[in-house]
Amino acid sequence: MKAAIIANPASGKDIRRLVAHGSVFDNQEKVRMVRRILVGLAAAGVRDVLYMPEGYGIVPRALGDLDALETPVNVAPVDIYAHNTQEDTVNAAAAMQEAGVAVIIVMGGDGTSRAACKGARQTPILPLSTGTNNVFPIMAEATVAGLAAGVLACGGVSRDEGCTRPTYLEVLVNGAVRDLALVDVAVYDDIFLASRAVWDITRVSQLFCSRCKPESIGLSAVGGQLERIGPEEPRGLALELDPDFACKVRAAICPGLFADVGVAKVREMRPGAAVPVGLAPCVLALDGEREVEVHAEERAAVRLAQDRLYVADVEKILEYARQRGLFLRGAQVCYAN
């Protein structure tokens, strides 16, 4: 009966507000979301909640004005050393998994979800969108998301019943796994991480996608204009890009920002088969953010992982709860003829 919350105060505020038209996701709205999540968790029977401590104090602020809980919930921070970087999310998720939480609610964008999955690969996460390019997180009302997470945490629906099993990408450097990406990996012609976010598509020479669909936002939308690949399909796409190539794909690579992308070659990826990165030195952008520096003497590759993640499915969980009458109280409902 234990759940956890990771709320990223930095999500929804990166440079894409300057170079594109991304909206700002206010931290006070995250506070309000956490309040509703806690109400939903409590309604499902959760009595213990762990959270990631961070500089803004999203969860403590939510607790400061929360009088809607009929039953008290013990809310406590996990014990991590704060770096004020994404490592806090990685370490917090790892600590939460070690503490035996049944589900981690992650509030952020693709990058926040990615960091949480790095820390807790075997614990279901419920990713709520509060970021910029959100392909992996879902848009769901926080009260309902908290309720679904609570049902999962309390055992009303099992992990195997209530979770999807999406694929992800592994980044290899000199044959060893260096990092992972949930949606896409871009090979960026640069040697510095700089502002991290990617918006200049002309400097991307290769693009690897674990999932793609035309209605997505971000780099995976390029692949989505060529083919639809669902998150649980055991395949991905590897694209070779060339700004001078005649075949152009128009895709929304950032909010309010379209690009015509030359796609010279398309290759299907299968689990376990590594596709070499053809540029060194370079920077690898994971889920839209530059994260891995590849030096001239190093050799990098990307592969679709043979392992799968656990992602809580709000609709599926609450449908099981309805079928099992988990929230029926008192006498049976009488249906009229």
Q: Are residues 109 and 161 in the same domain?
A: yes
- State the DSSP string of 30-64: HHHHHHHHHHHHHHHT--EEEE---TT-HHHHHHT
Residues 6+ apart with CB under 8 A from 135: 110, 182, 183, 211, 216, 217, 218, 220, 287
pTM of the predicted model over 0.95 = no
For residue 183, is it within any domain?
yes
**Is residue 330 domain-resident?**
no
Per-residue pLDDT of the chain (337 residues; tens, 9 = 90+): 799 999 999 875 454 444 444 556 788 999 999 999 999 999 999 999 999 999 899 999 999 877 656 678 899 999 998 888 889 999 999 999 999 999 999 999 899 999 999 999 999 999 999 865 578 999 999 999 999 999 999 999 999 999 999 999 999 999 999 999 999 999 999 887 766 677 788 999 999 999 999 998 889 999 999 999 999 999 999 999 998 887 899 999 888 889 999 999 999 999 999 999 999 999 999 998 999 999 999 999 999 999 999 999 999 999 999 999 999 887 566 556 5
Q: Are residues 154 and 9 in the same domain?
A: yes
Do 290 and 159 share a domain, yes or no?
no
**Same-domain pairing of 188 and 127:** no
- Shared domain for 177 and 289, answered yes or no, is yes
Pairing of strands 163-164, 169-173: unpaired
Residue 108 placed within a domain: yes
Residues 115, 93: Cα–Cα separation, whole Å = 8
pLDDT at residue 191, rounded to an integer: 81
Do 137 and 183 belong together in one domain?
Answer: no
Q: Rounded distance, CA 125 to CA 315, Å?
A: 14
Distances (CA, A) of 106 to 43, 167, 218, 255, 282: 19, 18, 20, 22, 30
Residue 68: the pLDDT is 59
Residue 337 lies in a domain: no
- The answer to whether position 242 is within a domain reads yes
The length of the chain is 337
Q: Order across the sheet with 169-173: list the strands.
A: 176-181, 169-173, 300-304, 274-276
| Residue 40 near residue 144 (C-beta atoms within 8 A) | yes
CATH of the domain at 286: 2.60.200
| 179 and 161 fall within a common domain | no
Of 146, 110, 148, 131, give the one whose Cα is nearest residue 231: 110
**26 lies in some domain:** yes
Asked if residue 12 belongs to a domain, the reply is yes
Per the DSSP assignment, residues forming a β-bridge with 276 are 301
Predicted pLDDT at 337: 59
Question: Which residue range forms the structural domain that includes residue 109?
Answer: 2-165+309-324
Mark whether 319 and 301 lie in a shared domain. Answer: no
Task: Say yes or no: 135 and 244 in one domain.
Answer: no
The CATH number of residue 37's host domain is 3.40.50
Q: How many domains does the chain have?
A: 2
Strands 103-108 and 2-7: parallel
Q: What are phi and psi of 235, to 5 degrees?
A: -160, 160
Q: Are residues 50 and 14 in the same domain?
A: yes
Residues 187 and 284 in one domain: yes
Alpha-carbon gap, residue 162 to 156, rounded angstroms: 10
- With contact defined as beta carbons under 8 Å apart, do 140 and 106 qualify? no
Query: Does 12 share its domain with 107?
Result: yes
Instruction: Give the model's pLDDT for residue 331.
Output: 55
Any domain includes 288: yes
